[in-house]
């Protein structure tokens, strides 16, 4: 059996992954642990407001009797993209509930700001439009990426031109009009990992955009390794329950101002209810990621020992995603699961399985897909919070349906 699985001996021991920064007595100010930030960031003012849960502001517009003041604030936003001071103006400029989520996510990723959008693809589109507006239309990218991200770049739908490279070729691919380098680590769907620090060094002054959807800030914070922009499909782990669609870019305030201007102009705004659900989802993010990762590490071990499985991909960083290739027909596995849900997407509390070549990466040309390591026998499993023995029983039964089983 040609089976590969990475060492996961201490994966997701909660103590080993305690993300507390700094030490000292209780009287010494120090950065708060990630788990604490996840619960409290974006909510610090609630007690003073006499509230325990964050309010949901569903207003699309806000009354003001000072039209001169409104004009001045709108002019300032149009000129700089800074968040308007004072009361809200209009839902397309910003929303107080969404702003709480943005504040919290920026804190978790260790950035100055974050800007939320209606989907992950809207967020990526906004990044490209910011750079395009500066005449920097060229993008250097490394495969694999999420299939629709790949398609957006390859098709040039927003006027961008992409050069696909191996990570080692990034520096040589840069041009005077290169506006962005984009990578995803661990990558969708192969879980390939990159040395983000080395990639950021190769980028020089060109901003590095790292898609951190799979890892989340629980496992890595790309800005600490040199990335300027961190992209999330917040639909996935940040929401965590399969009931919200959103995207977000964590970044410095300078870049955030450009993103807000694009969001205002294109209308890719996040609904306040989605912002509320995402803020609530962040509070359990560390617990969910660690528990699901523990399940995934165990399932990866069992799959690697199974003769019906040709190869297992599980990242050294850990996480709740597994990719594996079967000797038999992968479609039989999809048809054979009963507890695991056969569906696109990932990062929910329940486990999902899908066949990338048929769904998430179908839009990528076959040759490019294969060159990126996305074989036709590859399955992607998003591991949830179910009992690991129940999950294995379901996988074991489904693998029995394959022609190689």
Active-site residues, by number, are 92, 146, 211, 236
Residue 186 preceded by cis peptide, ω within 30: yes
387 DSSP β-pair partners: none
Return d(Cα 307, Cα 314) in angstroms, integer: 17
Contact present, 208 and 226 (Cβ < 8 Å): yes
CA pseudo-torsion sign 80, 85, 90, 96:
positive
SS3 377: coil
Transcribe 211-250 into DSSP letters: E-TTTHHHH--GGGGT-SEEEEETTTTTT-SS----EEEE
| Residue in 255, 404, 234, 236 with CA at minimum distance from that of residue 330 | 404
CB 123, CB 249: distance < 8 Å: yes
Q: Return the structure tokens found at 290.
A: 């660690």
Name the DSSP class of 324: E
Neighbours of 204 (CB within 10 A): 12
* Residue (of 179, 170, 114, 123) closest to 149 by Cα position: 123
10 Å CB burial of residue 387 (0-12, 13-18, 19+) is exposed
What's 320's DSSP letter? S
Q: Between vectors from CA 36 to CA 108 and to CA 20, what angle results, nearest 5°?
A: 75
Residue 138: strand pairing partners: 161, 178
**Structure token digits, residue 264:** 């205002």
């Amino acid at each position: 059996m040609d089976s590969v699985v990475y060492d996961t001996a201490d994966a997701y021991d909660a103590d080993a992954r305690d993300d507390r920064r700094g030490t000292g007595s209780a009287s010494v100010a120090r950065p708060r642990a990630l788990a604490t930030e996840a619960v409290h960031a974006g909510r610090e003012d609630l007690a003073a407001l006499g509230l325990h849960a964050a309010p949901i502001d569903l207003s699309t517009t806000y009354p003001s009797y000072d039209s001169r003041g409104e004009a001045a604030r709108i002019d300032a936003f149009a000129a700089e993209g800074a968040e308007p001071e004072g009361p809200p103006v209009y839902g397309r400029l910003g929303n107080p509930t969404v702003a709480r989520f943005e504040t919290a996510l920026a804190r978790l990723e260790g950035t100055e700001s974050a800007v939320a959008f209606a989907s992950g693809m809207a967020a990526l589109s906004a990044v490209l439009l910011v750079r395009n507006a500066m005449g920097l239309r060229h993008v250097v990218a490394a495969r694999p990426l999420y299939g629709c991200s790949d398609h957006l770049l390859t098709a040039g739908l927003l006027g961008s031109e992409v050069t696909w490279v191996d990570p080692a070729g990034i520096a040589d691919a840069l041009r005077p009009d290169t506006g962005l380098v984009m990578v995803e680590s661990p990558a969708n769907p192969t879980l390939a990992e990159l040395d983000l620090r080395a990639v950021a060094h190769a980028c020089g002054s060109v901003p590095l955009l790292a898609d951190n959807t799979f890892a989340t800030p629980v496992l890595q914070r790309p800005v600490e390794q040199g990335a300027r922009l961190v992209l999330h499909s917040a639909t996935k782990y940040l929401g965590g329950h399969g009931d919200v669609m959103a995207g977000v870019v964590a970044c410095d305030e300078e870049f955030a101002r450009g993103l807000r201007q694009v969001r205002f102009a294109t209308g890719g705004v996040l609904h306040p209810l989605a912002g509320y659900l995402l803020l609530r989802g962040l509070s359990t993010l560390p617990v969910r990621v660690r528990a699901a990762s523990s399940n995934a590490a165990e399932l990866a071990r069992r799959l690697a020992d199974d003769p019906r499985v040709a190869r297992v991909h599980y990242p050294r960083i850990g996480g709740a995603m597994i990719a594996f290739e079967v000797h038999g027909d992968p479609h039989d596995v999809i048809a054979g699961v009963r507890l695991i849900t056969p569906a696109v997407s990932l990062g929910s509390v329940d486990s999902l399985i899908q066949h990338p070549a048929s769904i998430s990466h179908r839009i990528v040309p076959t040759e490019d897909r294969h060159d990126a390591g996305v074989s036709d026998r590859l399955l992607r499993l998003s591991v949830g919070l179910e009992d690991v023995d129940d999950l294995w029983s379901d996988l074991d039964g489904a693998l029995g349906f394959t022609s190689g089983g």
